[in-house]
Amino acid sequence: MTVSYTLEVADARFGGFSKLLFRWKGSIYKLLYKELLVFALLYTTLSLVYRRLLSEEQKRLFTKVAQYCDRSTDLIPLSFVLGFYVTLIVNRWWAQYSSIPLPDQLMCVISSTVHGRDERGRLLRRTLVRYANLSAVLILRSVSTRVLKRFPTMDHIVDAGFMTQDERKKFESLHSDFNKYWVPCVWFTNLAAQARRDGRVRDDVALRLLLDELNLYRAKCSLLFHYDWISIPLVYTQVVTIAVYSFFAFCLIGRQFLEPLEPGATSTLDMYVPLPTLLQFFFYAGWLKVAEQLINPFGEDDDDFETNKLIDRNLQVSLLSVDDMYQNLPPMAKDKYWDESTALPPYTVATAAETLKPSFLGSTFDMR
């Protein structure tokens, strides 16, 4: 499930982010600790071989190789390549979330344009909104491993109430080599046209509004499908991965403690634990891990999208809005400020200080 810490960073204060460093779920430590252990083990192995097993002549040769590897790390533009790649991944990640179809606008239009308090009117509204949710479930089970595990077959979708047996027969009778998530949207349009002919939708303007909202909803389903189909070019991901791995392959040798080549020359400080190199690995390899986690947010990582929760929420609120809330209005009454020329809602003691601040009228009003 998504790891949320928004409340903890609501106010900027001393050490505000420090508390977040001690979290495990969704943390960089959980993502990276295996790679970090492997890197540290390889570094330690090379260090022991150099210190204990090599002869003096072999040590001199190793020193030259290590110096060459250390110079070579400057030739890899790691920050540029990795930074640009992660920026691309983050933008794509948010665009994918924005493409998840939500029925909120569509359900409001259905509730206001498809009329009838009788059983037929209720059936029309519930069926329309169910078709919209069915389309979303079909596309989400095509891109999300969580949803596919929840609805592995069409039997599970029927049992969950998104589709009837008759609708399933109609759905499966349509033979196509491509994903059929769009079929419920076509059913929606035909049913909306029938409701217009029956007078349940009272004019063409209302029908147009209804179909426009459906098209926006269907477009998000389509966009989600294409995000899943068209990945970031594999060559780019390979270049970034090779850049990171080759950089730290050079570091394994180039950052070793070395004895001076010339007798009597001063040697560098012997740090048994290469802390700067480990930190560099933590930052760069962690950056790559961020991209690895965000490149497909429809998996089962800690910070991947909670698609099953979205399905539950969308079905519940959409059925509630077109059924229980249809023309179920509270009585109108005069508001609290009916006889007042200026409405000023009260402040609590905790927010009373805000009333002392004058309203902002524009920067030039303070000009002298």
Does residue 197 lie within any of the structural domains? yes
The pLDDT assigned to 269 comes to: 66
Asked whether 95 and 310 are in contact (CB, 8 A), the reply is no
Instruction: Give me the pLDDT at residue 268, please.
Output: 66
Distance CA 199, CA 209 (A): 16
Q: Do the domain assignments include residue 218?
A: yes
Residue 239, domain member (yes or no)? no
Nearest one of 255, 233, 258 to 69, comparing CA atoms: 255
**In-domain check, residue 211:** yes
Examine residue 154 and state whether it is found in any structural domain, yes or no: yes
Number of structural domains the chain divides into? 1
Q: Which residue has the tokens 């049992």?
A: 159
**Which residues constitute the domain of residue 191?**
103-229
Residue 146 lies in a domain: yes
Angle at 44 between CA 42 and CA 49, to 5 degrees: 95
pLDDT score recorded for residue 258: 80
State the pTM of this model. Answer: 0.88
Say if CB 86 and CB 291 are below 8 A apart. yes
Cβ proximity of 118 and 189 under 8 Å? no
Asked if residue 180 is part of any domain, the answer here is: yes
Q: Which two tokens stand for residue 340?
A: 């007042």
State the residue for tokens 């492997």.
38
In a domain, residue 9? The reply is no
Low-confidence ranges of the chain (pLDDT < 50): none
Distances (CA, A) of 293 to 67, 101, 247, 302: 35, 22, 21, 9
Closest alpha carbon to 132 in 349, 351, 265, 321: 321
Which structure tokens are listed for 96?
């994918």
